C-alpha cells in the first residue's frame, strides 16, 4: 500500500512522458455529504483511463454533517484516499494549504468537491504538464452557473486587484489547476497566515498555460460563500498583495491640503478686497464633512493592515489537524518528505 502514496522521489521533477507518476487530487470539503459520492464517482470515471497513480487528499474542514464519516468510510475501503481532519472550520484557503502540505504527488490538482470544476479536464492538465508546463490552470469560459451579481462583482474585484497589485491574477481563473511538485515546494516557502491562494499561486509563478472550460452548477448542496464572506475574501486578497490602499492617503491628503490652501487664500483675498463677509456655514460644513469622511476612511484602511499585521505577528499555524487517516504511515511519509514540519506541529496522525 505504501508504494501507492510515497513516491521514491517525491521531490524530483517528473521526466516527460513517464508513466506511473503520482498525482494528488486535493479536495477541501465543508458540509459536502450530498456531493461526496457523486464527486468520487465522476472523478474515478475520468481517472480510469489514465496511466498515473492517484491519491486523494480530502480535507474535512470542520463539517457539521456526515462528511467526515463518509470520508473515513471511503478511506477504509480505498487506499488511495487520505483524510485530513481539521479540529474546526478554518476556511477553504487553510484547507487547501493543508492539502498541499500533505500531498505526496509529482503533481497536485486542487479541485472543488461540488463538481463545479469538471474532472474531465484532468487528462488535459496532465498532458500539458507532460509537455513541460509547471502550472496548467482552468479558465472559466462561461460562468452561467453563477449568478449575474457574483460574476460582475468577481470581475470588478479582479480588475481592481490587478490594478493595485504587482502580481497579476489571470481573470476568470480559480483554484482548479495542476501544479508541478516544484511549484508546490515554492508555495510551501510562503508562511503568511493570511492565505489568499489565488494571489499565492500567481506570486510563485512558473511556466503556465490555461485551458478554458465551462464552470458547471453545483452538483448538490449549497455554496458556503455569502456576499459578506466574499467581501472579506476580497479585502484579504488586496491587503495581502498590495500596499497601495495604504499609500494612497498621503496623495489624497496632499491634494485636499492644496485645495484647502487655495480656498483659504481665496477667502483671505476676498475679505481684504470686499471686507467682512457673512460667515460661511455651507463651506464650513462641506470642509468638515469631506475631511471627516476621508479621515475615517483612511483610518479604516490603516486598521485593515494593522489587523493583519497583528494576526501575522501571532505566528499561529494556518490550521490544526486532529488526525490524518489513510495512506502511508508517519514514518514512511517523513522519510519521503523531510519537510513535514506542518504535520508534526499539527498533532497526531492515525492510520485507518
Q: Which residues bind Mg ion (CB under 5 A)?
A: 112, 114, 116
CB nearer Mg ion, residue 222 or residue 313: 222
CB nearer Mg ion, residue 60 or residue 242: 60
Q: Is 97 in the site for ligand UDP (CB under 6 A)?
A: no
Q: Is 92 in the site for ligand UDP (CB under 6 A)?
A: yes
Task: Tell me which residues in 20-59 interact with ligand UDP (CB under 6 A).
Answer: 28-30, 32
Among 33, 55, 101, 114, binds ligand UDP (CB under 6 A): 114
Query: Binds 28, which of Mg ion, ligand UDP, none (CB < 5 to 8 A, cut-off by type)?
Result: ligand UDP
Q: Are 37 and 69 in contact, with CB atoms under 8 Å apart? A: no
Q: How many CB atoms lie within 10 A of CB 157?
A: 19
* Grid coordinates given for 71: 470520508
Query: Binds 71, which of Mg ion, ligand UDP, none (CB < 5 to 8 A, cut-off by type)?
Result: none
Which residues, 6 or more positions from 36, have their beta carbon under 8 angstroms from its beta carbon?
29, 67, 70, 71, 74, 113
Q: Cell 448542496 sits at which residue?
A: 221
Q: Is 116 in the site for ligand UDP (CB under 6 A)?
A: yes
Q: Are 161 and 233 in contact, with CB atoms under 8 Å apart? A: no
Q: Are 23 and 56 in contact, with CB atoms under 8 Å apart? A: no
The full 3-state SS of 98-137, as one line of letters, equals HHHHHCCCCEEEECCCCCCCCHHHHHHHHHHHHCCCCEEE
Among 6, 68, 75, 95, binds ligand UDP (CB under 6 A): 95
Query: Binds 29, which of ligand UDP, Mg ion, none (CB < 5 to 8 A, cut-off by type)?
Result: ligand UDP
Q: Cell 503556465 sits at which residue?
A: 208
Window contacting ligand UDP (CB under 6 A); options: 106-114, 195-203, 240-248, 268-276: 106-114
Q: What dihedral do alpha carbons 255, 260, 265, 271 form, nearest 10°?
A: 160
Query: Binds 89, which of Mg ion, ligand UDP, none (CB < 5 to 8 A, cut-off by type)?
Result: ligand UDP
CB nearer Mg ion, residue 4 or residue 145: 145
Q: Is 326 in the site for ligand UDP (CB under 6 A)?
A: no
CB nearer ligand UDP, residue 140 or residue 182: 140
Burial 309-328 (b: 16+ CB within 10 A, else e): eeeeeeeeebbebbbbbbbb
Task: Tell me which residues in 171-230 interact with ligand UDP (CB under 6 A).
Answer: 223-225
Q: How far is the CB of 176 from ligand UDP (least distance, A)?
A: 10
Helix (H) or strand (E) holding 293: helix 281-313
Identify the CA nearest to 171 among candidates 136, 206, 202.
202
Q: How far is the CB of 236 from ligand UDP (least distance, A)?
A: 13
C-alpha triplet 321, 201, 51: angle, nearest 5°: 80
CB nearer ligand UDP, residue 66 or residue 224: 224
Q: Which residues bind ligand UDP (CB under 6 A)?
A: 28-30, 32, 61, 89, 91-92, 95, 112-114, 116, 223-225
Amino acid at each position: 500500500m505504501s508504494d501507492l502514496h510515497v513516491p521514491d522521489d517525491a521531490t524530483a521533477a517528473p521526466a516527460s512522458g513517464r508513466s506511473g507518476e503520482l498525482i494528488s487530487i486535493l479536495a477541501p470539503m465543508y458540509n459536502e455529504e450530498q456531493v461526496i459520492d457523486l464527486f468520487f464517482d465522476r472523478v474515478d470515471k475520468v481517472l480510469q483511463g489514465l496511466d498515473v497513480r492517484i491519491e486523494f487528499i480530502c480535507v474535512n474542514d470542520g463539517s457539521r454533517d456526515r462528511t467526515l464519516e463518509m470520508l473515513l468510510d471511503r478511506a477504509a475501503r480505498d487506499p488511495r484516499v487520505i483524510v485530513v481532519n481539521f479540529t474546526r472550520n478554518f476556511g477553504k484557503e487553510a484547507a487547501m494549504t493543508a492539502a498541499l502540505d500533505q500531498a505526496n504527488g509529482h503533481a497536485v490538482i486542487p479541485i472543488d468537491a461540488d463538481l463545479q470544476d469538471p474532472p474531465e479536464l484532468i487528462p488535459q492538465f496532465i498532458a500539458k504538464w507532460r509537455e513541460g508546463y509547471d502550472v496548467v490552470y482552468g479558465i472559466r469560459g462561461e460562468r452561467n452557473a453563477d449568478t449575474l451579481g457574483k460574476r460582475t462583482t468577481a470581475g470588478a474585484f479582479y480588475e481592481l486587484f490587478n490594478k493595485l497589485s504587482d502580481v497579476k491574477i489571470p481573470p476568470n481563473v480559480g483554484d482548479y489547476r495542476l501544479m508541478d511538485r516544484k511549484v508546490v515546494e515554492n508555495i510551501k516557502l510562503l508562511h503568511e497566515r493570511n492565505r489568499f491562494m489565488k494571489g499565492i499561486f500567481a506570486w510563485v509563478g512558473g511556466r503556465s498555460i490555461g485551458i478554458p472550460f465551462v464552470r458547471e452548477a453545483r452538483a448538490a448542496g449549497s455554496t458556503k460563500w455569502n456576499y459578506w464572506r466574499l467581501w472579506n475574501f476580497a479585502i484579504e486578497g488586496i491587503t495581502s498583495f498590495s500596499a497601495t490602499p495604504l499609500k494612497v492617503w498621503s496623495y489624497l491628503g496632499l491634494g485636499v491640503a492644496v485645495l484647502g490652501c487655495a480656498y483659504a487664500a481665496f477667502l483671505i483675498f476676498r475679505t481684504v478686497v470686499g471686507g467682512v463677509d457673512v460667515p460661511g456655514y455651507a463651506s464650513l460644513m462641506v470642509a468638515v464633512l469631506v475631511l471627516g469622511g476621508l479621515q475615517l476612511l483612511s483610518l479604516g484602511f490603516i486598521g485593515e493592515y494593522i489587523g493583519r499585521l497583528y494576526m501575522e505577528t501571532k505566528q499561529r499555524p494556518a490550521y490544526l489537524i486532529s488526525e490524518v487517516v489513510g495512506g502511508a504511515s508517519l514514518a514512511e511519509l517523513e522519510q519521503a518528505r523531510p519537510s513535514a514540519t506542518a504535520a508534526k506541529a499539527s498533532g497526531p496522525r492515525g492510520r485507518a
